[in-house]
Chain A
């Protein structure tokens, strides 16, 4: 009897087990549906409706309105500049402490600082830079003592350049954190093998190290791009809307329908999600490529 029922069970079980096992994930998926799915669906549906509630693609066409297209361009520019500059500087910094012959203590210190700095953003970060490079900031006053007045030559911390300087504060530490394991993964054997074949240091970097690191470098820069693109609090505190960034426009749209067209606001949010989605997708692909060298 038992033997038969045990043998019969596997036939019956998979189907039942399938549904009952998935039931255990119900709380998680319910939460996701309520607090990720519902809000996003609302924005998606809204982006395809005009003020009269009719279905339309006009909102997406209206993203080309100069003021909105300009906001996208400026946000992309700021994100790109801080991703590339932060990426290069973060890489050099990580390289300096790992392979540059600096004491080991500095490496541990840098990793801890990077963990803190990449998490230190938003209102306090913007304020810290105002105290540093604002009109009465410490560095500004210091430079003035030497006869250099940044503000006389047109610089202000509330400008695009200022915003980029602030964003770099959380950008390059993130690069350090992500690239450090990749630099660590460069095997000494590869360098030795290259040197045995007569390669110079430059050739080793050009032909071996950089090609291996390239997917990680590029992927991480793309991640930094998304990191800056989605940032809202820092820019809000620093510029109070002087620089038209997409997250700030969306913020204005939440507070009150400043575009006089809710659908356009939703389309803008979708545009932002699309750009973030593309950058994360490319990052994931490149990470997968980079995995090949890590065994």
Chain B
């Protein structure tokens, strides 16, 4: 076991952002499907877990969480981006580069994928907060785990992403102390190429893992921060095992009321993202001058002691935990996660091979949703074109980049197409007009057919456009999501 202890740095948390998929799978529906062979699951089948839509993955969720924090904190420049996840879609193709590109970060941003354990998110945050460099870093944890059907993990896991922006400026919270420990304590593992985890007995994990590894690391972090366990106002520890948080708080001497809700019942355990997500949740509730302890267990342990500043205000968009849509169809979940092969008919056989050379030429257009604004007449085009489309203008090579990703838009026409193949029929698409009057034919996502009307306000979401199962590729683009009251419409 290797140890390290650090004292508080000068950089702080500038903002946090969370994204949870809209679909919330009712655990009772999952348990009902397995009742014939695993009746005991009923005992943990309370509440809902987030469920990525068919077109969501850790990359798309990370983009949403990143957009949330960037929109709130509005940094001038992001120098580094770390995407932490144990379930990144690409083993090779820098996942963080897709995210950075969709977030319109500049190409001098230092970009890294981090993974390997559930500590990938907390460790990335710890490193950024400890970094001596006075630069702004974005850490995003995103996860979409696919545990084996009928495992407790299937009920417990959730899909989601959380982002933390760290850097110099006016932080909402500062690092007071931190500690970490690496340990090849294998409570669960997943070999490359396998979809689901293999885990050991829970009692052993609790007694030999949590109980013996966490306290020492926490003690060192508290010591570095110069405070006592009793000073902690918010204790964040996403332990998947029942009642471990409460027991650990007691063992460490943390006040029982400081234990932060894991939110597992509402959204599930979002893996790497979860310490960041719980931190965001705790920061929403914390008052200025309060102390937070963030602990993440997994192949060792990370512990961070943070203190909110005077500037502290709730940083996440209100209602991020609510506003979902309950899903009771477990077969749909199995299909979305690729665990159930359905007969989609011949229309699903279309070859969606991506010309990588064309994708590179269109990289800003596709990832960044960047069109072109004619400097002569102001017409905004998507895609950008050499000749202005305005018949009164027609100027050549006058278009400057114009990003549509964050621009409000409305439906001009729509349909629910039951003929085309989509992994979640019907195929909803239509003509969309942005505030800049740019018009784009777009797919709608996270929408119900009866929500679509001419004039419906829309927000843009970065999503999977198509899968190419033949070659193991997926391509992304932006889709339009109807805005609802809970989401700020």
Does B bind A? Answer: no
